Amino acid sequence: MKKVIYSLLIGATILAASCSKFTDVQPKGKNLLATTDQLEMLLNQEFDLDDSDMRQMAGDIISAFENIQTMLSKPNKTRQAIILSWDEANIDKMAELTMSDRTYSKAYGVIGKISNAILSKIDDASGPESVKNQLKCEALVLRAYYHYILVNKFAKAYNPATAADDPAIPYVTEEWDISVPTEKASVKEVYDNILSDLDQAIQLDALPVTAVNRMRMNKPSAYAVKALALANMQQFDEASAAAKQALALNNVVNNYNQMLTTLTGAILGGTYPVVLRPHLKCEEDIFYTYGLEFFNAIPTSAWNAFEEGHASRDKMSTDRLMYDNMMGMGMSYIGLDYTFTFDLESGWNASGVKTSQMYLIVAEAEIRKGNFDAAMDALDAIRVNRIDPSVYAPLKGNVGNVEDAIFHLKQTAHGENAYTIHNFINKKRWNLFDGYKETLTRTIGDKVYELRPDSKLWIFPLPANAVNINPNLLPQNYSL
């Protein structure tokens, strides 16, 4: 890991030094990159995204270093206290406290400094036409995906009846004049632009099936991002078709029960098999983003939401295993007896895309048509590689009603997405459907907190550092 980090730092230094030799700045601040080799260097990034906001709001983690009950009892609410207590009455206070947002800044940084930089210069760059087309496709898919993340954090879930009027976020293209403030697009406009970018990339058909590394967009990723967007747009048959196109190119679901290393306890010296999900090496990662699953407290409700025998829970590297199951850090650090993730070796792809998410889309589309065997078959393609063989039993042929089918869909989805932003995105869109929506509950001490499906907290405030310099972003989306 240290070698990787050092290599990235050295690469960044070389890139900065070399860029100074062939770049210039126009009055509009656009970078002059003249060859395909130079433009491709922009894609040599370590992609990551701050994900704790969405994961905490979804009830999957608590990321804190103080006693939670003490935090929540203070009269002056912090931003995190509002999130953890699901305190909708203080959402305006939360907006005041959101001076900046790393998801917002990082995503628009990727869009503006990488995708749009490539798209604005690629046609005039020198280099092979095949490479130009590939870089254009990569930039389009990358731009579409990061706008997808942004719209799901900062705007309402896509509702066909209101999407044309629901305010969302700016959809920033290479044609934007940076001297002019961006304007909010509607939810529908954002998704229409996402699909337009993806369809351009698919029609140009210049992406490799396997990219040079999993932090580069490839042909399966274009279909996968399209499937995610279409599922959010409630176009389930079309989403399933796109998911199947992605799976036709990559249908690998890694078997976590066979991807193991050994953790040695610090007290008794016991040895425990734990999942090792190596960075950039999991075939199921269609697009990978870097991040460690380390020192996040998993609430009891989220821990219990895993299916029995799930490797992502039972073989997760945790503080309890580190202390030979004799103690944990929960009471000491946050005053709650929660398990802490403690995996410094694996990459859980917190904000990327996996093949398993495509199987989930196929399963949901089949459930909505009443094809329960086909739906459970898609879920089994995931489960057989996650559930311990001693307790695994196929669902196909054993589920015959919509209530049970939805339960297994949501349980399997939780297992896949508990360490990602996608639980938040799924729960948010499911809030629009009877049979899927639910009120989340969280017990802290002797108090139960609730997050209703119609809560404004599902829409995060736009950051003040963006709103204050751009009057077109006012007012906040949750207030409209």
Judge whether 399 lies within some domain.
yes
pLDDT at 26: 45
Write the DSSP string, 269-326. Answer: --EEEEE---TTT-TTEEE-----EEEEEE-HHHHHTSPTTBHHHHT--BHHHHTTTS
Q: Which residue has the higher pLDDT, 14 or 64?
A: 64
Q: How far is CA 50 from CA 153, 291, 418, in A?
A: 12, 9, 15
Tokens 């202390």 label which residue? 323
Contact (Cβ atoms closer than 8 angstroms) between residue 390 and residue 311: no
User: What CA–CA distance (Å, rounded) separates 338 from 63?
Assistant: 11
pLDDT at 9: 36
Closest CA relative to residue 356, chosen from 230, 243, 196, 198:
243
Q: How many domains does the chain have?
A: 1
Judge whether 246 lies within some domain.
no
3-12 pLDDT, tens digit each:
443 343 334 4
pLDDT at 137: 98
User: What CA–CA distance (Å, rounded) separates 463 from 106?
Assistant: 12
Mean pLDDT for the chain overall: 93
- Residues 200-217 have a mean pLDDT of 98
Q: Which residues pair with 275 in a beta bridge?
A: 260
Q: Does 19 score more than 60 pLDDT?
A: no
User: What CA–CA distance (Å, rounded) separates 419 from 386?
Assistant: 14
Judge whether 405 lies within some domain.
yes
Return the percentage of the chain with pLDDT > 70, whole number.
Answer: 93
Contact (Cβ atoms closer than 8 angstroms) between residue 433 and residue 411: no
Work out the pLDDT band at 445, boundaries 50, 70, 90.
confident
Q: Does 403 score more than 60 pLDDT?
A: yes
pLDDT at 221: 98
pLDDT at 18: 42
Work out the pLDDT band at 30, boundaries 50, 70, 90.
low
249-295 pLDDT, tens digit each:
999 999 999 999 999 999 999 999 999 999 999 999 999 999 899 99
Q: Of how many residues is the chain composed? A: 480
Judge whether 269 lies within some domain.
no
- Residues 110-134 have a mean pLDDT of 98
Judge whether 362 lies within some domain.
yes
Range of the domain at 379: 355-436
Return the percentage of the chain with pLDDT > 90, whole number.
Answer: 91
Q: What is the DSSP letter of 266?
A: S
Closest CA relative to residue 377, chosen from 402, 357, 400, 394:
394
Judge whether 256 lies within some domain.
no
Judge whether 359 lies within some domain.
yes
Contact (Cβ atoms closer than 8 angstroms) between residue 232 and residue 238: no
User: What CA–CA distance (Å, rounded) separates 418 from 320?
Assistant: 19
pLDDT at 15: 42
pLDDT at 475: 95
Tokens 């949750």 label which residue? 478
Judge whether 409 lies within some domain.
yes
Q: Does 29 score more than 70 pLDDT?
A: no
